[in-house]
Copies of this chain bind each other. A is one copy, B any other.
Amino acid sequence: MGSTDEKEEYTYENEEREELTEERILQMLDERKFKELKEELEHMYPVDLVELMEDFTQKQLVMVFRLLAKEEAAETFTEMDSDMRETLIGGLTDSELEEVMEEMYLDDTVDVLEEMPANVVDRLLMATDEETRQQINQLLQYPEDSAGSVMNVDYIALRKEMTVAESILKIRQVGINKETIYTCYVTEKRKLIGMVDVKELLTTSESKTIEEIMDTNVLYAHTTDDQEEVAQIINKYGLIALPIVDHEMCMVGIVTVDDAMDVLQEETTEDISIMAGVSPSDDSYFETTVLEHVKSRLPWLLFLMLSATVTQMIMNHYESALAVMPQLAGFIPMLTGTGGNCGSQSSTLVIRGISVGEIEFGDLFRVIFKEIRVAILISLILSVVNGIRIIVMGQGDALVALTIGLTMACTIVIAKVVGCTLPLVAEKIGLDPAIMATPLISTLVDISTISVYFAIVSAVFSL
Protein backbone atom coordinates (compact mmCIF):
# COMPACT_ATOMS: atom_id res chain seq x y z
CA MET A 1 0.00 0.00 0.00
CA GLY A 2 1.24 3.41 -0.87
CA SER A 3 4.41 2.05 -2.35
CA THR A 4 4.38 4.65 -5.09
CA ASP A 5 4.74 7.47 -2.59
CA GLU A 6 8.07 6.09 -1.49
CA LYS A 7 9.35 5.19 -4.91
CA GLU A 8 12.51 7.23 -4.69
CA GLU A 9 13.61 4.98 -1.87
CA TYR A 10 13.91 1.99 -4.16
CA THR A 11 16.22 3.21 -6.84
CA TYR A 12 19.85 3.40 -5.93
CA GLU A 13 20.75 6.01 -8.51
CA ASN A 14 18.00 8.38 -7.57
CA GLU A 15 19.86 9.21 -4.42
CA GLU A 16 22.27 11.18 -6.55
CA ARG A 17 19.79 12.62 -9.04
CA GLU A 18 16.78 14.85 -8.71
CA GLU A 19 13.68 12.79 -9.30
CA LEU A 20 11.80 13.34 -12.53
CA THR A 21 8.32 14.68 -11.81
CA GLU A 22 5.39 15.58 -14.01
CA GLU A 23 6.20 19.28 -13.52
CA ARG A 24 9.88 18.87 -14.40
CA ILE A 25 9.08 16.99 -17.60
CA LEU A 26 6.60 19.67 -18.69
CA GLN A 27 9.08 22.42 -17.82
CA MET A 28 11.89 20.76 -19.79
CA LEU A 29 9.51 20.32 -22.77
CA ASP A 30 8.61 24.02 -22.52
CA GLU A 31 12.23 25.08 -22.39
CA ARG A 32 13.02 22.66 -25.23
CA LYS A 33 15.75 20.95 -23.15
CA PHE A 34 15.24 17.76 -25.16
CA LYS A 35 18.73 16.36 -24.77
CA GLU A 36 18.67 16.57 -21.00
CA LEU A 37 15.16 15.17 -20.81
CA LYS A 38 16.16 12.28 -23.07
CA GLU A 39 19.03 11.47 -20.73
CA GLU A 40 16.84 11.56 -17.66
CA LEU A 41 14.19 9.42 -19.32
CA GLU A 42 16.75 6.67 -19.79
CA HIS A 43 16.70 6.11 -16.05
CA MET A 44 12.92 5.94 -15.74
CA TYR A 45 11.01 2.68 -15.56
CA PRO A 46 8.24 2.67 -18.20
CA VAL A 47 5.55 1.92 -15.61
CA ASP A 48 6.62 4.98 -13.57
CA LEU A 49 6.81 7.21 -16.64
CA VAL A 50 3.24 6.32 -17.62
CA GLU A 51 2.07 7.36 -14.14
CA LEU A 52 3.67 10.78 -14.60
CA MET A 53 2.13 11.34 -18.01
CA GLU A 54 -1.47 10.65 -16.97
CA ASP A 55 -2.65 14.20 -17.61
CA PHE A 56 -0.46 14.99 -20.63
CA THR A 57 -1.93 16.36 -23.85
CA GLN A 58 -1.45 14.49 -27.12
CA LYS A 59 1.33 16.86 -28.14
CA GLN A 60 3.18 16.42 -24.85
CA LEU A 61 2.77 12.63 -24.98
CA VAL A 62 4.15 12.45 -28.51
CA MET A 63 7.10 14.73 -27.67
CA VAL A 64 8.14 12.60 -24.70
CA PHE A 65 7.53 9.37 -26.61
CA ARG A 66 9.85 10.48 -29.43
CA LEU A 67 12.66 10.97 -26.91
CA LEU A 68 12.52 7.35 -25.73
CA ALA A 69 14.82 4.62 -26.99
CA LYS A 70 13.05 2.09 -29.23
CA GLU A 71 12.74 -0.67 -26.67
CA GLU A 72 11.67 1.68 -23.86
CA ALA A 73 9.11 3.26 -26.18
CA ALA A 74 7.51 -0.11 -26.83
CA GLU A 75 7.48 -0.98 -23.12
CA THR A 76 6.03 2.39 -22.20
CA PHE A 77 3.32 1.92 -24.84
CA THR A 78 2.51 -1.47 -23.31
CA GLU A 79 2.10 0.01 -19.83
CA MET A 80 -0.36 2.73 -20.92
CA ASP A 81 -4.11 2.38 -20.44
CA SER A 82 -6.25 2.29 -23.55
CA ASP A 83 -7.21 5.98 -23.48
CA MET A 84 -3.61 7.15 -23.32
CA ARG A 85 -2.65 4.71 -26.07
CA GLU A 86 -5.37 5.95 -28.38
CA THR A 87 -4.33 9.56 -27.80
CA LEU A 88 -0.72 8.74 -28.51
CA ILE A 89 -1.43 6.67 -31.62
CA GLY A 90 -3.38 9.58 -33.06
CA GLY A 91 -0.22 11.70 -32.92
CA LEU A 92 2.29 9.21 -34.29
CA THR A 93 3.30 8.76 -37.92
CA ASP A 94 2.87 5.38 -39.61
CA SER A 95 6.58 4.66 -39.54
CA GLU A 96 6.83 5.46 -35.84
CA LEU A 97 3.93 3.13 -35.20
CA GLU A 98 5.68 0.44 -37.19
CA GLU A 99 8.72 0.69 -34.96
CA VAL A 100 6.65 0.34 -31.80
CA MET A 101 4.81 -2.68 -33.18
CA GLU A 102 8.11 -4.30 -34.11
CA GLU A 103 9.54 -3.94 -30.62
CA MET A 104 6.48 -5.07 -28.68
CA TYR A 105 6.12 -8.64 -27.46
CA LEU A 106 3.39 -10.42 -29.33
CA ASP A 107 1.25 -11.14 -26.27
CA ASP A 108 1.29 -7.44 -25.39
CA THR A 109 0.38 -6.51 -28.97
CA VAL A 110 -2.65 -8.75 -28.78
CA ASP A 111 -3.71 -7.21 -25.45
CA VAL A 112 -3.43 -3.76 -27.01
CA LEU A 113 -5.44 -4.74 -30.08
CA GLU A 114 -8.24 -6.26 -28.02
CA GLU A 115 -8.84 -2.94 -26.28
CA MET A 116 -8.69 -0.60 -29.30
CA PRO A 117 -11.58 0.57 -31.48
CA ALA A 118 -11.72 -0.98 -34.96
CA ASN A 119 -10.23 1.98 -36.88
CA VAL A 120 -7.17 2.07 -34.61
CA VAL A 121 -6.78 -1.72 -34.92
CA ASP A 122 -6.72 -1.36 -38.70
CA ARG A 123 -4.00 1.27 -38.50
CA LEU A 124 -1.96 -0.86 -36.09
CA LEU A 125 -2.25 -3.99 -38.23
CA MET A 126 -1.20 -1.98 -41.28
CA ALA A 127 1.99 -1.10 -39.38
CA THR A 128 2.79 -4.79 -38.83
CA ASP A 129 4.64 -7.16 -41.16
CA GLU A 130 2.83 -10.07 -42.74
CA GLU A 131 4.30 -12.85 -40.53
CA THR A 132 3.52 -11.06 -37.28
CA ARG A 133 0.03 -10.26 -38.57
CA GLN A 134 -0.65 -13.96 -39.06
CA GLN A 135 0.59 -14.76 -35.57
CA ILE A 136 -1.58 -12.00 -34.15
CA ASN A 137 -4.65 -13.31 -35.92
CA GLN A 138 -3.89 -16.76 -34.53
CA LEU A 139 -3.64 -15.40 -30.97
CA LEU A 140 -6.78 -13.29 -31.34
CA GLN A 141 -8.75 -16.49 -31.98
CA TYR A 142 -8.17 -17.95 -28.53
CA PRO A 143 -11.13 -17.45 -26.21
CA GLU A 144 -10.91 -14.54 -23.78
CA ASP A 145 -9.30 -15.50 -20.45
CA SER A 146 -7.79 -18.66 -21.97
CA ALA A 147 -4.13 -19.62 -21.63
CA GLY A 148 -3.74 -19.03 -25.37
CA SER A 149 -4.84 -15.43 -25.04
CA VAL A 150 -2.19 -14.55 -22.41
CA MET A 151 0.69 -16.65 -23.66
CA ASN A 152 3.91 -15.44 -25.24
CA VAL A 153 4.98 -17.09 -28.48
CA ASP A 154 8.69 -16.33 -28.00
CA TYR A 155 10.65 -19.05 -26.23
CA ILE A 156 13.81 -21.09 -26.72
CA ALA A 157 13.25 -24.51 -28.25
CA LEU A 158 16.13 -27.01 -28.14
CA ARG A 159 16.48 -30.46 -29.70
CA LYS A 160 17.42 -33.43 -27.56
CA GLU A 161 20.50 -34.26 -29.68
CA MET A 162 22.10 -30.85 -29.01
CA THR A 163 25.02 -30.61 -26.59
CA VAL A 164 25.11 -28.17 -23.72
CA ALA A 165 27.70 -26.10 -25.59
CA GLU A 166 25.52 -25.97 -28.72
CA SER A 167 22.52 -25.00 -26.62
CA ILE A 168 24.34 -22.13 -24.96
CA LEU A 169 25.48 -20.99 -28.39
CA LYS A 170 21.89 -21.06 -29.65
CA ILE A 171 20.75 -19.01 -26.67
CA ARG A 172 23.55 -16.51 -27.31
CA GLN A 173 22.41 -16.17 -30.92
CA VAL A 174 18.66 -15.86 -30.52
CA GLY A 175 18.10 -15.30 -26.81
CA ILE A 176 18.29 -11.52 -26.84
CA ASN A 177 14.85 -11.31 -28.44
CA LYS A 178 13.06 -13.64 -26.08
CA GLU A 179 11.13 -12.41 -23.06
CA THR A 180 12.44 -15.25 -20.93
CA ILE A 181 15.28 -17.64 -21.56
CA TYR A 182 15.48 -18.98 -18.06
CA THR A 183 13.77 -22.19 -19.05
CA CYS A 184 14.38 -23.80 -22.44
CA TYR A 185 11.97 -26.34 -23.86
CA VAL A 186 12.97 -29.50 -25.71
CA THR A 187 10.78 -30.30 -28.68
CA GLU A 188 10.72 -33.14 -31.21
CA LYS A 189 8.63 -32.56 -34.33
CA ARG A 190 7.21 -29.54 -32.44
CA LYS A 191 5.95 -31.82 -29.64
CA LEU A 192 7.04 -30.88 -26.13
CA ILE A 193 9.18 -33.66 -24.69
CA GLY A 194 11.22 -32.03 -21.93
CA MET A 195 12.72 -28.91 -20.43
CA VAL A 196 16.09 -27.62 -19.27
CA ASP A 197 16.78 -24.74 -16.94
CA VAL A 198 19.46 -22.28 -18.03
CA LYS A 199 20.85 -22.87 -14.54
CA GLU A 200 21.27 -26.53 -15.53
CA LEU A 201 23.03 -25.60 -18.79
CA LEU A 202 25.48 -23.33 -17.01
CA THR A 203 26.40 -25.83 -14.35
CA THR A 204 26.74 -29.01 -16.47
CA SER A 205 29.65 -30.28 -18.51
CA GLU A 206 29.50 -28.74 -22.00
CA SER A 207 29.73 -32.05 -23.86
CA LYS A 208 26.61 -33.62 -22.37
CA THR A 209 23.56 -33.81 -24.63
CA ILE A 210 20.27 -32.17 -23.82
CA GLU A 211 18.63 -35.59 -23.66
CA GLU A 212 20.92 -36.54 -20.77
CA ILE A 213 20.08 -33.55 -18.64
CA MET A 214 16.52 -32.67 -19.66
CA ASP A 215 13.66 -33.04 -17.22
CA THR A 216 10.92 -35.08 -18.90
CA ASN A 217 8.45 -34.52 -16.08
CA VAL A 218 7.16 -31.28 -17.60
CA LEU A 219 4.16 -29.39 -16.32
CA TYR A 220 2.16 -27.77 -19.10
CA ALA A 221 -1.28 -26.44 -19.95
CA HIS A 222 -3.46 -26.32 -23.05
CA THR A 223 -4.24 -23.20 -25.05
CA THR A 224 -7.91 -23.49 -24.08
CA ASP A 225 -7.33 -23.85 -20.33
CA ASP A 226 -8.56 -21.03 -18.15
CA GLN A 227 -5.90 -18.39 -17.46
CA GLU A 228 -6.63 -18.53 -13.73
CA GLU A 229 -5.87 -22.27 -13.62
CA VAL A 230 -2.61 -21.63 -15.44
CA ALA A 231 -1.68 -18.86 -13.00
CA GLN A 232 -2.45 -21.12 -10.06
CA ILE A 233 -0.21 -23.88 -11.41
CA ILE A 234 2.64 -21.38 -11.83
CA ASN A 235 2.03 -20.17 -8.28
CA LYS A 236 1.64 -23.64 -6.74
CA TYR A 237 4.81 -25.08 -8.28
CA GLY A 238 6.84 -21.85 -8.05
CA LEU A 239 7.57 -21.74 -11.81
CA ILE A 240 9.08 -18.94 -13.91
CA ALA A 241 7.08 -20.00 -16.97
CA LEU A 242 4.63 -22.71 -18.00
CA PRO A 243 4.68 -24.14 -21.54
CA ILE A 244 1.39 -24.08 -23.45
CA VAL A 245 0.56 -26.83 -25.98
CA ASP A 246 -2.22 -27.29 -28.50
CA HIS A 247 -4.50 -30.34 -28.67
CA GLU A 248 -1.79 -32.30 -30.50
CA MET A 249 0.76 -31.64 -27.73
CA CYS A 250 2.68 -29.28 -30.02
CA MET A 251 4.26 -26.45 -28.11
CA VAL A 252 2.88 -23.03 -29.08
CA GLY A 253 3.97 -20.64 -26.32
CA ILE A 254 4.69 -19.95 -22.68
CA VAL A 255 2.91 -18.07 -19.92
CA THR A 256 5.43 -16.26 -17.71
CA VAL A 257 5.27 -15.65 -13.98
CA ASP A 258 4.74 -11.89 -14.29
CA ASP A 259 1.66 -12.45 -16.44
CA ALA A 260 0.50 -15.06 -13.92
CA MET A 261 0.78 -12.51 -11.09
CA ASP A 262 -1.33 -10.06 -13.09
CA VAL A 263 -3.93 -12.73 -13.79
CA LEU A 264 -4.18 -13.66 -10.10
CA GLN A 265 -4.53 -9.98 -9.13
CA GLU A 266 -7.24 -9.43 -11.74
CA GLU A 267 -9.14 -12.54 -10.73
CA THR A 268 -8.97 -11.51 -7.08
CA THR A 269 -10.33 -8.07 -7.91
CA GLU A 270 -13.10 -9.79 -9.86
CA ASP A 271 -13.92 -12.10 -6.94
CA ILE A 272 -13.96 -9.21 -4.48
CA SER A 273 -16.28 -7.19 -6.76
CA ILE A 274 -18.67 -10.10 -7.15
CA MET A 275 -18.62 -10.66 -3.40
CA ALA A 276 -19.80 -7.08 -2.92
CA GLY A 277 -22.59 -7.49 -5.49
CA VAL A 278 -20.85 -5.60 -8.30
CA SER A 279 -20.50 -7.15 -11.76
CA PRO A 280 -16.77 -7.29 -12.45
CA SER A 281 -15.19 -5.32 -15.26
CA ASP A 282 -11.69 -5.20 -16.74
CA ASP A 283 -11.55 -1.45 -16.26
CA SER A 284 -10.27 0.15 -13.09
CA TYR A 285 -12.43 2.33 -10.83
CA PHE A 286 -11.67 5.63 -12.54
CA GLU A 287 -11.68 4.16 -16.06
CA THR A 288 -15.27 3.06 -15.50
CA THR A 289 -17.82 5.75 -16.33
CA VAL A 290 -20.69 6.67 -14.02
CA LEU A 291 -23.17 4.89 -16.30
CA GLU A 292 -21.05 1.76 -16.36
CA HIS A 293 -20.80 1.88 -12.57
CA VAL A 294 -24.60 2.11 -12.36
CA LYS A 295 -24.97 -0.80 -14.79
CA SER A 296 -22.58 -3.01 -12.87
CA ARG A 297 -24.13 -2.30 -9.46
CA LEU A 298 -27.85 -2.08 -10.27
CA PRO A 299 -28.76 -5.73 -11.01
CA TRP A 300 -27.89 -7.07 -7.56
CA LEU A 301 -29.41 -4.05 -5.80
CA LEU A 302 -32.68 -4.49 -7.68
CA PHE A 303 -32.77 -8.22 -7.09
CA LEU A 304 -32.00 -7.88 -3.39
CA MET A 305 -34.45 -5.00 -2.90
CA LEU A 306 -37.23 -7.06 -4.42
CA SER A 307 -36.21 -10.14 -2.39
CA ALA A 308 -36.60 -8.04 0.73
CA THR A 309 -40.31 -7.96 -0.12
CA VAL A 310 -40.52 -11.42 1.41
CA THR A 311 -39.32 -10.06 4.75
CA GLN A 312 -41.90 -7.32 4.49
CA MET A 313 -44.73 -9.74 3.79
CA ILE A 314 -43.79 -11.77 6.86
CA MET A 315 -43.74 -8.63 9.00
CA ASN A 316 -47.07 -7.43 7.64
CA HIS A 317 -48.49 -10.78 8.68
CA TYR A 318 -47.54 -9.93 12.27
CA GLU A 319 -48.78 -6.33 12.08
CA SER A 320 -51.19 -6.84 14.97
CA ALA A 321 -48.40 -8.08 17.23
CA LEU A 322 -46.37 -4.97 16.39
CA ALA A 323 -49.35 -2.75 17.13
CA VAL A 324 -49.58 -4.25 20.64
CA MET A 325 -45.83 -4.32 21.37
CA PRO A 326 -44.21 -1.73 19.02
CA GLN A 327 -40.94 -1.94 20.98
CA LEU A 328 -40.42 -5.38 19.38
CA ALA A 329 -39.65 -3.66 16.08
CA GLY A 330 -36.65 -1.94 17.65
CA PHE A 331 -34.79 -5.23 17.97
CA ILE A 332 -35.10 -6.09 14.28
CA PRO A 333 -32.10 -4.16 12.84
CA MET A 334 -29.83 -5.60 15.54
CA LEU A 335 -31.05 -9.16 14.91
CA THR A 336 -30.80 -8.99 11.12
CA GLY A 337 -27.48 -7.13 11.35
CA THR A 338 -25.91 -9.72 13.62
CA GLY A 339 -27.29 -12.57 11.50
CA GLY A 340 -25.99 -10.95 8.33
CA ASN A 341 -22.54 -10.40 9.79
CA CYS A 342 -22.33 -13.99 11.05
CA GLY A 343 -23.38 -15.33 7.67
CA SER A 344 -20.96 -13.17 5.74
CA GLN A 345 -18.06 -14.21 7.98
CA SER A 346 -18.73 -17.86 7.16
CA SER A 347 -19.40 -17.38 3.46
CA THR A 348 -16.32 -15.18 3.01
CA LEU A 349 -13.99 -17.65 4.71
CA VAL A 350 -15.40 -20.54 2.66
CA ILE A 351 -15.28 -18.59 -0.64
CA ARG A 352 -11.62 -17.70 -0.04
CA GLY A 353 -10.90 -21.29 1.03
CA ILE A 354 -12.36 -22.52 -2.27
CA SER A 355 -10.41 -20.03 -4.35
CA VAL A 356 -7.02 -20.83 -2.77
CA GLY A 357 -7.81 -24.54 -3.15
CA GLU A 358 -8.16 -25.50 0.52
CA ILE A 359 -11.87 -26.29 0.64
CA GLU A 360 -13.89 -28.30 -1.88
CA PHE A 361 -17.41 -29.72 -2.04
CA GLY A 362 -16.32 -33.00 -0.45
CA ASP A 363 -15.54 -31.07 2.74
CA LEU A 364 -19.13 -29.84 3.08
CA PHE A 365 -20.02 -31.80 6.19
CA ARG A 366 -16.68 -31.10 7.85
CA VAL A 367 -17.25 -27.38 7.24
CA ILE A 368 -20.86 -27.46 8.46
CA PHE A 369 -19.84 -29.36 11.62
CA LYS A 370 -17.15 -26.78 12.35
CA GLU A 371 -19.47 -23.83 11.66
CA ILE A 372 -22.20 -25.24 13.91
CA ARG A 373 -19.79 -25.52 16.84
CA VAL A 374 -18.50 -21.99 16.20
CA ALA A 375 -22.11 -20.73 15.92
CA ILE A 376 -23.18 -22.31 19.21
CA LEU A 377 -20.32 -20.76 21.15
CA ILE A 378 -20.78 -17.35 19.53
CA SER A 379 -24.54 -17.33 20.03
CA LEU A 380 -24.14 -18.21 23.71
CA ILE A 381 -21.79 -15.29 24.29
CA LEU A 382 -23.74 -12.76 22.21
CA SER A 383 -27.12 -13.73 23.71
CA VAL A 384 -25.87 -13.38 27.27
CA VAL A 385 -24.15 -10.04 26.64
CA ASN A 386 -27.23 -8.75 24.82
CA GLY A 387 -29.60 -10.06 27.51
CA ILE A 388 -27.67 -8.18 30.18
CA ARG A 389 -27.69 -5.06 28.00
CA ILE A 390 -31.49 -5.23 27.51
CA ILE A 391 -32.15 -5.51 31.22
CA VAL A 392 -29.57 -2.89 32.26
CA MET A 393 -30.79 -0.39 29.67
CA GLY A 394 -34.38 -1.14 30.65
CA GLN A 395 -35.40 -2.07 27.11
CA GLY A 396 -37.30 -5.10 28.35
CA ASP A 397 -37.73 -7.65 31.11
CA ALA A 398 -36.20 -11.11 31.47
CA LEU A 399 -38.83 -12.56 29.13
CA VAL A 400 -37.90 -10.09 26.37
CA ALA A 401 -34.22 -10.82 26.94
CA LEU A 402 -34.93 -14.54 26.66
CA THR A 403 -36.96 -14.10 23.47
CA ILE A 404 -34.24 -12.03 21.84
CA GLY A 405 -31.55 -14.46 23.04
CA LEU A 406 -33.39 -17.45 21.60
CA THR A 407 -33.97 -15.69 18.29
CA MET A 408 -30.36 -14.65 18.13
CA ALA A 409 -29.09 -18.16 18.79
CA CYS A 410 -31.29 -19.65 16.05
CA THR A 411 -30.35 -16.84 13.65
CA ILE A 412 -26.63 -17.28 14.19
CA VAL A 413 -26.73 -21.05 13.66
CA ILE A 414 -28.86 -20.68 10.52
CA ALA A 415 -26.68 -17.84 9.19
CA LYS A 416 -23.43 -19.76 9.69
CA VAL A 417 -24.78 -22.95 8.11
CA VAL A 418 -26.34 -21.14 5.14
CA GLY A 419 -23.21 -19.00 4.79
CA CYS A 420 -20.85 -21.95 4.55
CA THR A 421 -23.12 -24.22 2.50
CA LEU A 422 -24.15 -21.94 -0.38
CA PRO A 423 -20.65 -21.18 -1.77
CA LEU A 424 -19.82 -24.90 -1.81
CA VAL A 425 -23.09 -25.76 -3.54
CA ALA A 426 -22.45 -22.99 -6.07
CA GLU A 427 -18.99 -24.42 -6.77
CA LYS A 428 -20.50 -27.90 -7.17
CA ILE A 429 -23.10 -26.82 -9.73
CA GLY A 430 -20.59 -24.74 -11.67
CA LEU A 431 -21.48 -21.23 -10.47
CA ASP A 432 -18.93 -18.78 -9.12
CA PRO A 433 -18.91 -19.23 -5.31
CA ALA A 434 -18.29 -15.49 -4.92
CA ILE A 435 -21.92 -14.85 -5.92
CA MET A 436 -22.94 -16.37 -2.59
CA ALA A 437 -21.28 -13.63 -0.54
CA THR A 438 -22.55 -10.98 1.84
CA PRO A 439 -25.38 -9.35 -0.18
CA LEU A 440 -27.25 -12.56 -1.01
CA ILE A 441 -26.50 -14.24 2.32
CA SER A 442 -27.68 -11.23 4.31
CA THR A 443 -30.97 -11.05 2.39
CA LEU A 444 -31.61 -14.76 2.97
CA VAL A 445 -30.62 -14.41 6.61
CA ASP A 446 -32.97 -11.40 6.98
CA ILE A 447 -35.87 -13.56 5.85
CA SER A 448 -35.06 -16.41 8.21
CA THR A 449 -34.35 -14.05 11.11
CA ILE A 450 -37.70 -12.29 10.80
CA SER A 451 -39.57 -15.61 10.48
CA VAL A 452 -37.86 -17.08 13.53
CA TYR A 453 -38.27 -13.87 15.53
CA PHE A 454 -42.02 -13.56 15.04
CA ALA A 455 -42.57 -17.29 15.51
CA ILE A 456 -40.84 -17.09 18.89
CA VAL A 457 -42.49 -13.77 19.81
CA SER A 458 -45.96 -15.19 19.03
CA ALA A 459 -45.27 -18.29 21.10
CA VAL A 460 -43.79 -16.47 24.11
CA PHE A 461 -46.22 -13.55 24.29
CA SER A 462 -49.20 -15.45 22.81
CA LEU A 463 -49.76 -12.58 20.33
The one of B222, B232, B312, B393 that contacts A309, using a Cβ cutoff of 8 Å: B393
Are B337 and A290 touching (Cβ within 8 A)? no
Contacting residues, chain B, for A117 (C-beta < 8 A) = none
Interface residue SS majority, chain A: helix
The one of B43, B203, B291, B333 that contacts A308, using a Cβ cutoff of 8 Å: B333
Which of A29-37, A57-65, A88-96, A379-387 lies at the binding interface?
A379-387
Contacting residues, chain B, for A269 (C-beta < 8 A) = 352, 356
* Cα distance A182–B353 in the bound complex, in angstroms: 33
Residue of B nearest to A438 (CB): B438
Interface size on A, residues (CB 8 A): 137
A223-238 interface code vs B (CB 8 A; 1 in, 0 out)? 0000011001101111
Are A352 and B294 touching (Cβ within 8 A)? no
Which of A123-131, A135-143, A343-351 lies at the binding interface?
A343-351
- A441: shortest Cβ distance to chain B, in Å? 10
Q: How many subunits of this chain does the assembly comprise?
A: 2
- Interface residue? A118 (CB, 8 A): no
- Interface residue? A459 (CB, 8 A): no
Residue of B nearest to A297 (CB): B345
Residue of B nearest to A206 (CB): B172
Are A305 and B385 touching (Cβ within 8 A)? yes
- In the complex, besides A3-B232, A278-B348, A301-B341, 13 extra interface pairs with C-beta distance below 8 angstroms are A1-B354, A2-B427, A181-B202, A235-B265, A272-B275, A273-B348, A277-B341, A301-B338, A308-B337, A309-B334, A311-B334, A322-B322, A341-B442
Taking Cβ atoms with an 8 Å cutoff, the residues of A that contact B are 1-6, 9-13, 43, 45, 47, 168, 171-172, 175-176, 181-182, 192-193, 198-199, 202-203, 216-222, 228-229, 232-233, 235-240, 249, 257-258, 260-262, 264-265, 268-269, 272-273, 275-278, 284-286, 290-291, 293-294, 297-298, 300-302, 304-306, 308-309, 311-313, 315-316, 319-320, 322-323, 326-327, 329-334, 336-338, 340-342, 344-345, 347-350, 352-360, 363, 366-367, 370, 373-374, 377-378, 381-382, 385-386, 389, 393, 395, 427, 438-439, 442-443, 446, 450
